[in-house]
Amino acid sequence: MAEVAPVITIDGPSGSGKGTISRLIAEQTGFHLLDSGAIYRLCALACLRGNTDIEDADAVNRVAQTLDIRFDVGTAGVIVFLAQDDVTGDIRQENVGMAASTIAAFPSVRASLLDCQRSFQQPPGLVADGRDMGTVVFPSAGCKVFLTASAEIRADRRVKQLQDAGQASVDRGQILADIIARDERDTNRATSPLVPAADALVLDSTALTIDEVLAEIMALIKSRALLG
């Protein structure tokens, strides 16, 4: 029987640091990286660009079923393409994140995007970042983490991230409100809600540095003997 590549799942709410930590773990382990949120964002962007009503599950599902996407590794990180168009920056816009959260509530859309996500499970292994990686997409993963932090600290981190990226005016109140709204929708949807897997380590990073979070998760991974 073919050996199945090991999977490490990092789930959690928006701005909890999943993406940052998943990238660092992928670097340290040499595993592939799946940013599943990017797939939902690509689907949302395709809807917005094609004037598809994002409240219409059937219409959004038709977009999901014919999604033409590609991920390339560039010198500055992952480059994301939608129908050959580099949309690496576009998918990070707040309105695209909100639209992604809306379309992600449709069960048919989630089902249509499952195979694409599972295709990332390749040797030597995978670090998968998202909301339902440990519960639905990779329930047999050998190591599962649910990374969280208070909404207030996540808003502070996002403000700093935007300021560091050169954004002139940043409205912290609006950012906090958006984080709370997205948490609410992602946590309360009926299908694949944002909840820790029963066998996940729940790690609250509110008072932890990135290095401290990384050290704790790497220790867990080593204890599970997932590395070749």
Ligand X SMILES: Nc1ccn([C@H]2C[C@H](O)[C@@H](COP(=O)(O)O)O2)c(=O)n1
Residue 109's nearest CA partner among 42, 144, 63, 170 is 63
Residue 153's nearest CA partner among 105, 103, 117, 206 is 206
Residue 209: contacted member of ligand X, ligand ATP, none (CB under 5 to 8 Å, by partner type): ligand ATP
Q: Does 16 count as an annotated binding residue? A: yes
Nearer to ligand ATP by C-beta: 4 or 78? 78
In this structure, what DSSP letter does residue 200 have?
P
28 binds ligand ATP (CB under 6 A): no
For the chain, first and last CA: distance in Å? 18
Say which amino acid occupies 222.
K
Q: Minimum distance from CB of 10 to ligand X (Å)?
A: 10
Interacting residues with ligand X between 8 and 67 (CB under 6 A)? 14, 36-37, 40-41
Q: Minimum distance from CB of 186 to ligand ATP (Å)?
A: 9
Q: Does 12 count as an annotated binding residue? A: yes
Nearer to ligand ATP by C-beta: 59 or 136? 136
Residue 111's nearest CA partner among 139, 74, 78, 136 is 136
Nearer to ligand ATP by C-beta: 12 or 134? 12
3-state secondary structure of 198: coil
| 178, 94 contact by CB (below 8 A) | yes
154 binds ligand X (CB under 6 A): no
Q: Given the rule CB under 6 A, which residues bind ligand X?
A: 14, 36-37, 40-41, 97, 100-101, 104, 130-132, 182, 186
